[in-house]
Structure 1
Amino acid sequence: MAWPEIDRVIMPNGLELEDDDEDYLDEDEEDDDDELFGFDSNSHVPRDSADPEAPKQSAHVFQRTASNPLGERMQFSGTLFPTKFGQRKKKTPLSPEELFPPGRCMKLAPPALRFINRYDTSEALIYTDGACFGNGNAAARGGSAFIFKPVYANDQSGRVAFKLEDQGPDGKTYRHTSNRAELRAAVAALRYRAWSGEGFRSIVIATDSTYVVNGATDWARAWVKKGWRLSTGENVKNRDLWEALLLNVERLHDQSVSVRFWWIPRKFNHEADRAAKGAASIPAPRIEFGDLIGVRV
């Protein structure tokens, strides 16, 4: 069942919280949204047509971050950063749906649908979003979501949504904010599958959050050099999630997979937005931070 449209929730204590759906910046930088939404392509590659008949159900398991069965690096080095997607100018840039239509990932058995670049089958796209009711308040409640393949009435396994944890990856407790929810969605998307095992050499995170796009590809470089401080001398907010995100970028790089971030207009991110709001409206809190691992999806 699809998530309903939710713009406000009423907490058990009667407090009414709203989702302002705004993007809050953590750095004194100018936004350049328009130039981020562009066209990017390599060479023409024949594609398989999308088929809505897919496995009926998926499963994912919750895994505490202390587990490291693959022997992955456990600490962000501070030397590798993701890049922005879509720098090439074009009179009529393709929308995310046009540039990354559903295609079959033939490395999987059976083959599964993904959003695959129509000009480069080694590149896949994941839509991410976060929401927070009562943003900035002590009682704020956040949710995160990502969409990694088409969602159908008979198969909704391409949509992953979950309540934002009270704890970060460092075990400390943090107040819920829209920025944390947005960041958390991107972290979860990168960890959900072994993308290199599916044959991809590039993952594009599509989000309507300038905070996530600019922070990951631009501001983080300065933050690391300044010891995670802003130009004002204040500590960078959400450092725990920024380091988790950048660590996962490095982990994928170790597997020959690059990560790029694409700012997209909100109208192209409706599915993830609705799912994130639905997750944020769940009354029960989620305490511990951990990875969601996709199985048979």
Structure 2
Amino acid sequence: MSIFTQGPSGLRLVVHCDGACLGNPGPGGWAATIKLMDGDQEISRTEVVGSEPTKTTNVRMEMSGAIGALRALPDNDGTPVAVFCDNEMVSRGMNEWLSGWIARGWRTAGKKPVKNPDLWQELASLATGRTITWHWVRGHAGDRHNEEVDALANAAAAKAMRQAQAG
């Protein structure tokens, strides 16, 4: 069985996203690739990158990669989306924890405030109404798609560091 869901047209969107931080906290970057697929054939590809030259965290950059990807998706025409990230918090947050956080007013099961609620709320809003499956991939383990977005995110973080140093 394939982990990919295909829409009625046979099309699907495949997203790989990642974030990087030089120091934690420190300047950071994020990246995502978005591929429109028809079966095994790549029809189109988009890369999106961004950075934060002020002090940020690795988790915020990981989440920003997913947000940047969802922002860049084409209009919602029902095409299913598979998102792959190497941050387990992002995939588990979207798959397991999000509905509970919302029901508890953005509090954890332990009644503590959810960390990075601004990003979780934006991610939830961008995902609303779409068919998205969230997948965790082991980082730095040879997955070529993950390695590609990792390199893009690190390049964006390096650019952010240069911007921060230039002041």
Query: Is TM more than 0.5 here?
Result: yes
Larger strand share, 1 or 2 = 2
The CA deviation string for residues 163-217 of structure 1, in whole angstroms up to 9 with x for no partner, is 1375xxxxxxxx51111101111111111132435xx521111111111000111
1:121 and 2:7 aligned? no
- Relative distance call for 1:193 and 1:39 in structure 2 (3 A) is closer
Equivalences for residues 201-240 of structure 1 within 5 A: 201-240=79-118
- Within 5 A, what are the aligned runs for 1:138-287? 140-149=26-35, 158-164=46-52, 175-196=55-76, 201-250=79-128, 253=129, 257-266=130-139, 267-268=142-143, 269-282=146-159, 283-284=162-163
> Is residue 23 of structure 2 the alignment partner of residue 134 of structure 1?
yes
Distance (Å, rounded) in 2 between the aligned partners of 1:245 and 1:165: 22
Deviations 1:130-173 (CA, angstroms, capped at 9, x unpaired): 011111x3xx11110001249xxxxxx7332221375xxxxxxx
Bigger helix fraction: 2
SS in 2 for 1:158: strand
TM-score normalised per structure 1:
0.45
State the alpha-carbon separation in 1 of the partners of residues 122 and 17 from structure 2: 16
Taking a change above 3 Å as real, the CA distance of residues 41 and 127 of structure 1, as seen in their structure-2 partners, is: closer
Partner Cα distance (1:195, 1:127) in 2: 18
8 Å Cα contact 1:147-1:160 kept in structure 2: yes
Q: Which runs of 5+ in 2 are unaligned?
A: 37-44
Seen in structure 2, the aligned counterparts of structure 1 residues 215 and 206 have a Cα distance that, compared at 3 Å, is same
How many Å apart are 1:248 and its aligned residue? Answer: 0.6
Q: Which ranges in structure 1 are unaligned for 5 or more consecutive residues?
A: 1-37, 43-116, 151-156, 167-174, 286-297
- State TM-score, norm by structure 2: 0.78
Total equivalences in the alignment: 149
Q: C-alpha root-mean-square deviation of aligned residues, in Å?
A: 2.5
Does the CA contact (< 8 Å) of 1:164 and 1:184 recur in 2?
A: no
Q: Which of structures 1 and 2 has the bigger CA Rg?
A: 1
3-state DSSP of counterpart to 1:224: helix
Task: Flag the 1:227–1:165 CA change in 2: closer, same or farther, 3 A.
Answer: farther
> What secondary structure sits across from 1:284 in the alignment?
helix
Distance 1:248 1:213, change over 3 A: same
